[in-house]
Amino acid sequence: MGELGGFLKLKRAETPERAPAERVGDHREFVRTLPLVELREQGARCMECGVPFCHSGCPLGNLIPDWNDLVYRDRFREALDQLHRTNNFPEFTGRLCPAPCEAACVLEIDEGNAVTIKQIELAIVERGWDEGWIVPQPPAARTGRTVAVVGSGPAGLACAQQLNRAGHLVTVFERDEAGGGLLRFGVPDFKIEKRVVEQRLAQLETEGVEFRYGVDVGADVDPAELAEGFDAVVLAVGSRVPRDLPIPGRELGGVHFAMDYLCERNRDVAGSAAPAISAAGKHVIVVGGGDTGADCVGSAHREGAASVTQIELLGEPPVTRPDELTPWPLWPMKLRTSYALKEGGSRSFAVSTTGLSGNGRVEQIDWMRNNGAPPFAPEPGSEESHPAELVLLAMGFVGPEPSLLEQLGVARNARGNVEAEEYATSVPGVFAAGDARRGQSLIVWAIEEGRRCARTVDAWLAE
């Protein structure tokens, strides 16, 4: 355990961030790490609970108390081993995970006091990269079995790495020009610089995973061939069909899905393609109050938007954890202010968008206030109109793209996701993991799905 009674003496230190005014001027990561001494102090706050709710709150089952303690004792090398034991890519989660572990931390019963687990995780893995401790771990022997993984998002990568380490020969098919899926194309650089993704991809490659980029299975490759040519196929294609907003004016120019905008931004920052969508100098409306919406807000700031407004269908949640609704250790439905809103812009809750208007291109958005909860009845007389030159729809995803799934003939559930109870689909030898299976979710879930799917595939291959 950390230090006995450490949590009583030491305060939680929030993640240090670059000043908003400064960071909006570039695309470098805005999150910083604590100095080592302070970080170890944060590790000392861990009580090493008999029932570590953090460990249960983490979808990966990260051995949080174990590595908190090791960090406190300055034993980073072992901490890294423990971290990698459950998590293939801590540098992804350490940057991007909303940290349900911290919400479930026993110290969070006293709200706002959770151990800074996410920072510690990041620090461990960054130290590992810096020290050169993270090296390729190719398998000692090959089984001779082959696996095709479709999709190189976190689920696909985790699955590929696990299967490769088990000795199978893994080929990853990625329709985009580079690996990482939404990590690379969905999440802005200021949250995760792409070198972070690349260094991990390099590790996988050196370990023996083959990547085939720009190959769209279902379009460029016949899925049947794939199934034929590999002993197993894993579908990790994500949940990429966005939820639309069926209102008058939806068809106007300047109304885009968030992910289209973010992909362009990422390619732009990477210098790989010129963008077609721009927020520069525009009044930007972001519809949807989640993380994707926030990334749109942050990107728009960096493009120099005239104004950025984020609207959310749901009502404004309470500032503190609502015990009657989401008591500890559940993820609290409470008000959170994203990094992006700290950089500027405004937001409104309980907003039902009623229409978009403009002349070919969108110019105005109309909305009404609602009661903040289903069925979101609009309040009569609450109509408002706002200038809108770029409208970004960030309302989540409804499911995986159907084409490939249909070609393979895998069964899907009512929500359109691949039906794969224990990761095996209805088609023998075809497996599914990640958002394609469970629906849109967090990166941790994607990694966990990839790992578990790999276990299933490995067992199946052994038979």
Partner 1 sequence: MTHRRPDNAPPAPPGPSGLYDPAFEHDACGVALVARLSGEPSHETVARGLTALSNLEHRGAQGADADSGDGAGILVQVPDAFFRGEFGEALPPAGAYGVGTCFLPQGAGRAHELEEIVERAIAAEGQRLLGWRDVPTEPSHVGRSAMAVAPAIRQVVVGASPELAADQDAFERKLYVIRRVAELAAGPALVVPSLSSRTLVYKGMLTAPQLARFYPDLSDERFASALALVHSRYSTNTFPSWELAHPYRMIAHNGEINTLRGNVNWMRARESQLASELFGDDLAKVLPVIRPGGSDTAVFDNVLELLVLAGRSVPHAVMMMIPEAYAGRPDYPEELKGFYAYHQCLMEAWDGPAAISFTDGRVIGATLDRNGLRPGRWLETTDGWVVLASETGVLDVPAEQVLRKGRLQPGKLFLVDLDQHRIVEDDELKHSVATRRPYAEWYAREVLHLADLPQLPEPARPVEPLRRRQLLFGYAQEDMKAMLAPLARNAEEAVGSMGNDTPLAVLSRRKPLLYSYFKQLFAQVTNPPIDSIREKVVMSVQASVGSERNLLDETPEHARQLVIENPILRDDELERLRQVASDVFKAHTVDTTWPVADGVDGLEPALERICHEASAALAGGANILVLSDRSAGPERVPVPSLLATAAVHHHLVREGTRLQTGIVVESGEPRSVHSIAVLVGYGAAAVNPYLMLETIGELVELGSLPDGMTVEQAQARAIKGIGKGLLKVMSKMGISTIPSYCGAQIFEAVGLAPELVERYFTSTPSRIGGVGLRDLAEGSLIRHARAYPGSADELLPVLGLYAWRRDGEHHQWNPDTIALLQHAVRSGTFETYEEFSRTVNSDAARRSTLRGLMRFRFAEDGGIPLDEVEPAAEIVKRFSTGAMSLGSLSREAHETLAVAMNRIGGRSNTGEGGEDPVRYVREANGDSRRSAIKQVASGRFGVNANYLANADELQIKMAQGAKPGEGGQLPGYKVDQYIASVRMTTPGVGLISPPPHHDIYSIEDLKQLIYDLRCGNPNARISVKLVAEVGVGTVAAGVAKAGADHVLISGHEGGTGASPVSSILHAGVPWEIGLAETQQTLVLNDLRSRIWVQTDGQLKTGRDVVVAALLGADEMGFATAPLIASGCVMMRACHLNTCPVGIATQDPVLRERFAGKPEHVVNFFFFIAEEARQLMARLGVARFDDLVGRVDLLDADEALTDWKARGIDLSNVLRASEPVPGAPLRRTTPQAPSLDGALDWELIDIARATIDGGAPVEAALSIRNVNRTVGGLLSNAVTRVYGLAGLPAGSIRFTLTGAAGQSFGAWLAPGIELTLVGDANDYVGKGLSGGVLAMRPPEDAGFRAEENVIAGNTILYGATAGRAFFRGVVGERFAVRNSGASAVVEGVGDHGCEYMTGGVAVVLGRTGRNFAAGMSGGIAYVLDEDGSFPSRCNSELVGLDPVEADDAETLRALVEEHGLRTGSPVAARLLADWDASLARFVKVLPHDYKAALERDVALSTGGEGFLTAETETTEAAA
- Range list of β-strands (E), 35-167: 146-150
Kindly state whether residue 98 participates in binding partner 1, applying the rule CB under 8 A. Answer: no
CA 49, CA 105: separation in Å to the nearest integer?
A: 9
Nearest distance from C-beta of residue 165 to partner 1, angstroms: 10
Q: Restricting to residues 329-388, which ones interact with partner 1 according to CB under 8 A?
A: 329-330
CA 18, CA 30: separation in Å to the nearest integer?
A: 5
Site string for partner 1, 416-435 (x = CB under 8 A): --------------------
Amino acid at 193: E
Under DSSP, is residue 234 helix (H, G, I), strand (E, B) or coil?
A: strand
Site string for partner 1, 130-169 (x = CB under 8 A): ----------x-----------------------------
Kindly state whether residue 8 participates in binding partner 1, applying the rule CB under 8 A. Answer: yes
Nearest distance from C-beta of residue 10 to partner 1, angstroms: 13
Kindly state whether residue 73 participates in binding partner 1, applying the rule CB under 8 A. Answer: yes
If the CB atoms of residues 12 and 212 are measured against partner 1, the closer one turns out to be: 12
User: Using CB under 8 A, which of the segments 320-328, 345-353, 376-384, 450-458 binds partner 1?
Assistant: 320-328
Amino acid at 442: L
Q: Looking at 177-320, list the stretches that DSSP marks H as alpha helix, in order from N- to C-terminal side.
A: 182-185, 194-207, 223-229, 258-270, 291-303
Under DSSP, is residue 32 helix (H, G, I), strand (E, B) or coil?
A: coil
Nearest distance from C-beta of residue 445 to partner 1, angstroms: 14
Residues touching partner 1: how many (CB under 8 A)?
36
User: Could you say which of 23, 41, 66, 412 contacts partner 1 (CB under 8 A)?
Assistant: 66
The answer to whether 412 touches 419, Cβ cutoff 8 Å, is yes
If the CB atoms of residues 104 and 263 are measured against partner 1, the closer one turns out to be: 104
If the CB atoms of residues 144 and 229 are measured against partner 1, the closer one turns out to be: 144
Kindly state whether residue 18 participates in binding partner 1, applying the rule CB under 8 A. Answer: no
Q: Is the peptide bond before 329 cis (omega within 30 degrees of 0)?
A: yes
Structure tokens at 245: 């907003």
CA 54, CA 445: separation in Å to the nearest integer?
A: 15
Kindly state whether residue 180 participates in binding partner 1, applying the rule CB under 8 A. Answer: no
Structure tokens at 390: 């770029």
Kindly state whether residue 323 participates in binding partner 1, applying the rule CB under 8 A. Answer: yes
Amino acid at 81: D
The answer to whether 210 touches 142, Cβ cutoff 8 Å, is no
β-strand 241-242 against 397-399: which pairing, if any? antiparallel
Q: Restricting to residues 33-52, which ones interact with partner 1 according to CB under 8 A?
A: 47-52
Kindly state whether residue 441 participates in binding partner 1, applying the rule CB under 8 A. Answer: no
If the CB atoms of residues 85 and 243 are measured against partner 1, the closer one turns out to be: 85
The answer to whether 179 touches 188, Cβ cutoff 8 Å, is no
Kindly state whether residue 83 participates in binding partner 1, applying the rule CB under 8 A. Answer: no
User: Using CB under 8 A, which of the segments 3-11, 171-179, 404-412, 439-447 binds partner 1?
Assistant: 3-11
If the CB atoms of residues 77 and 336 are measured against partner 1, the closer one turns out to be: 77
Nearest distance from C-beta of residue 305 to partner 1, angstroms: 43
If the CB atoms of residues 57 and 153 are measured against partner 1, the closer one turns out to be: 57
The answer to whether 151 touches 229, Cβ cutoff 8 Å, is no
CA 298, CA 440: separation in Å to the nearest integer?
A: 21
If the CB atoms of residues 8 and 462 are measured against partner 1, the closer one turns out to be: 8
Site string for partner 1, 103-122 (x = CB under 8 A): -x-xx-xx------------
Amino acid at 452: R
By C-alpha distance, which of 137, 128, 142, 153 is closest to 78? Answer: 128
Kindly state whether residue 63 participates in binding partner 1, applying the rule CB under 8 A. Answer: yes
Kindly state whether residue 439 participates in binding partner 1, applying the rule CB under 8 A. Answer: no
Kindly state whether residue 57 participates in binding partner 1, applying the rule CB under 8 A. Answer: yes
Kindly state whether residue 81 participates in binding partner 1, applying the rule CB under 8 A. Answer: yes
If the CB atoms of residues 47 and 341 are measured against partner 1, the closer one turns out to be: 47
Under DSSP, is residue 431 helix (H, G, I), strand (E, B) or coil?
A: strand
Kindly state whether residue 327 participates in binding partner 1, applying the rule CB under 8 A. Answer: yes
By C-alpha distance, which of 129, 185, 194 is closest to 153? Answer: 185
Kindly state whether residue 207 participates in binding partner 1, applying the rule CB under 8 A. Answer: no
Structure tokens at 264: 């362009």
CA 51, CA 69: separation in Å to the nearest integer?
A: 15
Half-sphere exposure of 165 (CA within 13 A, CB side): 16
Structure tokens at 320: 């503190």
Question: Site residues (CB under 8 A) for partner 1?
Answer: 4-5, 7-8, 47-53, 55-57, 61, 63, 65-66, 73, 75, 78, 81-82, 85, 104, 106-107, 109-110, 140, 323-324, 327-330
